[in-house]
Amino acid sequence: MVKMNLKEHDMFEPPEDFVKQANMNDPDIYQRAEEDFEGFWEKLAENVDWYNRWDNVLEWNPPYSKWFVGGRLNASYNCLDRHIEKRSDKIAILWEGETGDVQTYTYLELLDATSRFANALKGLGVKKGDIVSIYLPMIPEAVIAMLACARIGAPHSVVFSAFSADALAQRINDPASKYLITCDGYYRRGNVIEHKGKTDEGLDKAESIEKVVVVKHAGNDVTMQDGRDVWWHDIVESANISCEPEVMDSEDMLFLMYTSGTTGKPKGVVHTTGGYMVGTTVTANWVFDLKEDDIYWCTADVGWITGHSYIVYGPLSNGATVLMYEGAPDYPDKDKIWEIVEKHSVTIFYTAPTAVRMFMKWGSQWPGMHDLSTIRLIGSVGEPINPKAWLWYHETIGNGRCPLVDTWWQTETGMALLTPLPGITSLKPGSVTRPFPGVKVAVLDNAGNEVPRGEGGFLALLAPWPSMIRTVYKNEQRYLDTYWSKWGTGKYLSGDGARQDEDGYFWILGRVDDVIKVAGHRLGTMELESALVSHPSVAEAAVVGMSDEIKGEVIFCYVTPKLGAIESEELKDELSKYIVKMIGPIARPEGIIFADELPKTRSGKIMRRILKAIADGKEVGDITTLQNPEVVEILEKKVKEEVAH
């Protein structure tokens, strides 16, 4: 294969030998999807196994969609049972711990473990429709727990393991879950993280929980509460190894996933079974080009949507071998990721731009220490990838010959919506290319009209897609207000800015609302602000995402202290710790400055746009509408000092 040295404005054509073997290499697919929207999705639904075929492909009463209406299926059946005949001894999960130990589960073993745990959950009283919270790190039991819930029709709600005790409590209290699955501890950079202790602290504020299942993973000492806490290994030991999957309606809830929005409270995104399974199964197959002998590695955490769709449901539904890694990318050294790629002959590698920029900063010598020649496709997700990082990734990790799929999507979309198809799409460094076939995307202005090519606007979806959010759990109004109120109920507001170039390629410009992506992690500025103002020394706070070369954005806080509070470095330190306690280490602020006043409009609204410009060291633009324009200069000076600090 010819190695190309791409430059920023070059196009990367899909290599011929890749095209030949690609799962999807027919360029007419776009046209066919266009001509017969429902027929297209109906055909794709045949990639999933159903107990009962659907009566209708789609019922669309904007903004409510139902897909494959009347169809019946089970997600865990699709990820496990249906592979047994052909793949019972194939490895489904290849797990590597931080200490280097490896655990594997074949499809048969994963089915058995899932069935046992599903029965154990039933034994605890879990019934179809009950919501089960899962608070587990990157260990195989996280996947087993999710699939076991799916098996018995109990929607799971996974909470990212690095979220704090308070954040856990909030995510348990909203759906009032009665069941929680956690572990004793896990390894991070050679230390044992005391996870059960943190869980207990959260449970002090979450009274709905009746039963807690604890995985013994790190072997650290824990306190088990009598009558409430049980060990995973104890309850599975006596559980039956066979568990009939529950026959679920296509529109039954598969899971809840809390995500940050533009208010202080995260929202529970509801995903249902049929459409989600169709969407993730097909995108995993076409976008990652999964083949029987691939070793597929998505470095996301199961606690986020990427882990749900592209570690668990999509790849396993395709019968793939999925690699999971417990630890940090730079421990014990900065070649850890590449050591794992070489050790397990990884063929598909999917990660976030922050990770790519970090690898780039560490230098090519680290990947250079290992044989990465097994890699045949690389992917990116979670934030915009700048052309420079794209080119480095393509050249250094993809050896200049692998297709790079930059996939745009959201917790709410369930599956990748803007993405190359690697056997068809010519790539442009930094662009997410075009919509997946059957997906209708546009860049709109404030009034809902399409903007001319080359101009920026709001990224919108103009038609439903199978794995779309169905509602916000117990908060219909928020569903309507957040996504469907800007232009009416037929046009979904994504919250991202975008631009289409002269070739129709899409370029994502980042969030245009109060959501920020810090190192690919989704956080709400309002959530951070409400954490800050709950501190006794804080009168008012405004949080913005400050641009960062590696992490995309970092958290920058403007704090007005209460009268009598002392503006000291100690207080800054305390506030930083406080925010971490309230949310988790991913929310640690990069900078905090004290501001006697925040820039406000005459009606008293804080102008975050100005605060962001100040944090980024940019021109603030027009400030004549402010009631207190004089604060801008004061803040600019303070930010300069803080950033230099």
Close Cβ partners of 454 (under 8 Å, ≥ 6 residues apart): 499, 500, 501, 502
In this structure, what DSSP letter does residue 37 have?
H
Close Cβ partners of 403 (under 8 Å, ≥ 6 residues apart): 12, 14, 15, 18, 377, 378, 420, 422, 423, 427
Per CB under 6 A, contacts with ligand WTA among 358-387 are: 380-384
Residue closer to ligand WTA (CB basis): 250 or 299: 299
Is there binding between residue 258 and ligand WTA (CB under 6 A)? no
The dihedrals phi and psi of 226, each to the nearest 5 degrees, come to -55, 135
Per CB under 6 A, contacts with ligand WTA among 36-75 are: none
Member of 357, 434, 522, 612 binding ligand WTA (CB under 6 A): 522
Site track 271-290 with ligand WTA (rule: CB under 6 A), x = hit:
--------------------
Member of 517, 535, 600, 612 binding ligand WTA (CB under 6 A): 517
Supply the minimum distance, in Å, between the C-beta of residue 512 and ligand WTA: 9
Member of 41, 409, 465, 492 binding ligand WTA (CB under 6 A): 409
DSSP track, 413-465:
T-S--B---TTTPPB-TT--BSBPTT--EEEE-TTSPBPPTT-EEEEEE-S--
Question: What angle, 0 to 180 degrees and rounded to 10, lies between the N-to-C axes of helices 195-203 and 165-173?
Answer: 50
Supply the minimum distance, in Å, between the C-beta of residue 75 and ligand WTA: 19
Supply the minimum distance, in Å, between the C-beta of residue 397 and ligand WTA: 17
Is there binding between residue 163 and ligand WTA (CB under 6 A)? no
Residue with token string 């999507």: 409
Per CB under 6 A, contacts with ligand WTA among 212-231 are: none
Using alpha carbons, list the distances in angstroms from residue 384 to 315, 377, 420, 500, 506: 24, 19, 15, 14, 11
How would you classify the pairing of strands 179-183 and 132-134? parallel
In this structure, what DSSP letter does residue 472 have?
B
Supply the minimum distance, in Å, between the C-beta of residue 410 and ligand WTA: 4
Is there binding between residue 406 and ligand WTA (CB under 6 A)? yes
Supply the minimum distance, in Å, between the C-beta of residue 289 and ligand WTA: 18
Measured over the CA atoms of residue 498, residue 502, residue 505 and residue 507, the dihedral's sign is negative
Closest CA to 212 of 250, 183, 185: 183
Is there binding between residue 408 and ligand WTA (CB under 6 A)? yes
Is there binding between residue 435 and ligand WTA (CB under 6 A)? no
Residue closer to ligand WTA (CB basis): 386 or 534: 386
Q: Count other Cβ atoms within 10 Å, centred on residue 298.
A: 26
Supply the minimum distance, in Å, between the C-beta of residue 259 and ligand WTA: 5
Amino acid residing at 193: I
Member of 432, 461, 468, 620 binding ligand WTA (CB under 6 A): 432
CA–CA separation, 305 and 148 (whole Å): 18
* Secondary structure class of 639 (helix, strand, coil): helix
CA–CA separation, 255 and 253 (whole Å): 6
Supply the minimum distance, in Å, between the C-beta of residue 34 and ligand WTA: 23
Q: Do 135 and 166 contact (CB within 8 A), yes or no?
A: no
Residue closer to ligand WTA (CB basis): 179 or 276: 276
Is there binding between residue 305 and ligand WTA (CB under 6 A)? yes
Choose the binding region for ligand WTA from 226-234, 303-311, 442-450, 539-547 (rule: CB under 6 A).
303-311
Residue closer to ligand WTA (CB basis): 152 or 397: 397
Supply the minimum distance, in Å, between the C-beta of residue 531 and ligand WTA: 19
The dihedrals phi and psi of 19, each to the nearest 5 degrees, come to -55, -45
15 prior amide bond cis, ω within 30: no
Residue closer to ligand WTA (CB basis): 115 or 410: 410
Choose the binding region for ligand WTA from 168-176, 201-209, 236-244, 405-413 (rule: CB under 6 A).
405-413
Closest CA to 134 of 193, 175, 73: 175
Supply the minimum distance, in Å, between the C-beta of residue 516 and ligand WTA: 9
Closest CA to 335 of 373, 300, 370: 370
Is there binding between residue 410 and ligand WTA (CB under 6 A)? yes
How many H helices and E strands in the chain? 22, 29
Member of 12, 54, 163, 304 binding ligand WTA (CB under 6 A): 304
Residue closer to ligand WTA (CB basis): 54 or 506: 506
Is there binding between residue 78 and ligand WTA (CB under 6 A)? no
Residue nearest to ligand WTA (CB): 411
Site track 476-515 with ligand WTA (rule: CB under 6 A), x = hit:
------------------xxx-----------x--x----
Residue closer to ligand WTA (CB basis): 14 or 382: 382
Total of chain residues touching ligand WTA, rule CB under 6 A: 23
The dihedrals phi and psi of 257, each to the nearest 5 degrees, come to -135, 120
Member of 411, 467, 471, 525 binding ligand WTA (CB under 6 A): 411
Contact positions toward ligand WTA, by CB under 6 A? Answer: 259, 304-306, 380-384, 406-411, 432, 494-496, 508, 511, 517, 522
